Structure 1
């Protein structure tokens, strides 16, 4: 707990932040609105200094995703993963190759460009956090990549549901698109949950299956950049997420409890997005700079439009 909260005195205006955070646990606040509320309070300087937002968000998000696993049907999860396997592989490696080409074209630092491409190709911040130590990236290189992906994630949370409804996409199709084209798991789940339960289950399942590609990509990255492949790690929440799916599958007699855990996890996910919004600052936006942001936008548009075209025409 000491790592989550420091010993600074609480101020009266901190009560507003806490009240809004509690409000995000209610059904009246959607994922995009929660992110916007957090960002607004951050811009007004109303985020308590006593809270370690990064650590709290990381833990809360991990627990939320693990809880969502109890609402996943194993047979459906396998079917979704098999149906979209080709799309996942093609989009992943084409994004990495395109990222390498554009990085050279734009004159961006190779490691920064590779981190942005890895975050776009797999699962945003988690992929960047896993690949960075494997290629011995500096703190500045990692921060710029994270800031770029972070900003685009925030945009995706609002933009994707709008496009999905505009094109009258089914929840299943929208869930697949989210898992392929949105970077971070948090934004994937947030956008999908705003679209519907089937979209949420499809997107969460496919995104976390996609996240397992962190291991081979980090290993290949270490070889390319002559880094340290001993530093490659896989986020533990992915393993616990898989475990929660197996528990729900092999112990179906507790389905009522699983439904409660799933519902509570969805609300804590909204709270996580509120905390993510509260961590956004103009310093992070400024740190991204023009060239890395151009790279991130180009990769994102190509990945999103290419996967959308495939889903609408061929799936």
Structure 2
């Protein structure tokens, strides 16, 4: 990457940085709302109140896609291997239920409502595993049309933003414990960015649980791609898709956790890296807000929108009931 390419990112990054600093100040004044939600709100207001020059987009996209992964890797330095294994063991059954049930329900609803099969599959995958990331990976296997992919991502994006605002309120109203709230957020909110944001909005312990659960859930992309490839008998595509499906940043998360578990990262350094990660999360949510276009969301048809709503409710309620009455 040459200097000219690097300069292209600067306008978007600077805009996000300004929003994030303002969000941190407001979050300090109104801690019950927090910097994360302020960053998201300010981003949404700016995107829908002003005509942003295209020069901002490349930096915004880079922050949302790349810096979130950096934040997650750094968060690994705040968790020991023992904690990761314990959280993973607690959540694996509910993750399996949410992933398989969420996809099945969406496909069934899609069939009943006569929605395009490919669109229903992508909405189900995005709801059940990890939002736009899962949709993009599965797209490579099934070769869905770009218009269908955009439709599915827009549907998922709307309910993901809604969950970012609702889950903290519902979690406190239901008086969920740290573990319960973390597992609920990690198993039912769509995109990783919102899972991490909601978790750390409610405290470091909730954030650690939510992030770990979400990363375990993200790994379900691999068996899903294998299953779809097998069903469609497309072996040539599956090898390429699997390579792209593996979330490499999880290895970075585990590496940092290993460094922390063995004492190579001190408690002081762990706290410092955790603080950097949390600010990066605020920046990512500012970027997410700057990608919200109400006109695009408003243009969605009611049937796919309703399918996304049913899938989101199923995943959220199923996960919550499992946590409350089985875990």
TM normalised by structure 2 equals 0.88
The residue aligned with 1:35 is: 40
> Is the contact between residue 184 and residue 316 of structure 2 (CA under 8 Å) also seen in structure 1?
yes
Secondary structure of 2:207's counterpart equals helix
Consecutive unaligned residues in structure 1, runs of 5 or more = none
Seen in structure 2, the aligned counterparts of structure 1 residues 256 and 16 have a Cα distance that, compared at 3 Å, is closer
8 Å CA contact 1:81, 1:209 repeated in 2: yes
Q: CA offsets, 1:198-224, max 9 Å, x none?
A: 110000011101111111101212233
Distance 1:258 1:31 in 2: 21
User: In the alignment, is residue 231 of structure 1 matched against residue 216 of structure 2?
Assistant: no
* Structure 1 residues 231 and 284: alpha-carbon distance in aligned structure 2, compared to 1, 3 A threshold: farther
Q: How does 1:32-71 map to 2 (within 5 A)?
A: 32-45=37-50, 47-51=52-56, 52=58, 53-71=60-78
Instruction: Give, in whole Å, the separation in 2 of the partners of 1:184 and 1:253.
Output: 29
How far has the Cα of 1:17 moved from its partner? Answer: 6.4
Tell me the matched-pair count: 312
Q: Among 220, 223, 226, which residue is 1:216 paired with?
A: 223
User: Aligned equivalents of 2:224 and 2:230: distance in 1?
Assistant: 10
Gaps of 5+ in 2: 29-33
> Residue 140 of structure 1 corresponds to which residue in structure 2?
147
Query: Are 1:105 and 2:116 an aligned pair?
Result: no
Kindly tell me: are residues 7 and 183 of structure 1, through their superposed partners in 2, closer, same or farther at Cα, counting changes over 3 Å?
closer
| Aligned equivalents of 2:203, 2:322: Cα separation in 1 | 22
Aligned to 1:75: 82
Matched with 1:255 is 267
CA-to-aligned-CA distance 1:49-73 (integer Å, 9 cap, x gap): 3221222311111111111111112
Normalised by the size of structure 1, how large is the TM-score?
0.91
Moved more, 124-133 or 228-237: 228-237
What's the C-alpha RMSD, in Å, of the aligned pairs?
2.3
Note the C-alpha offset of 1:165: 0.6
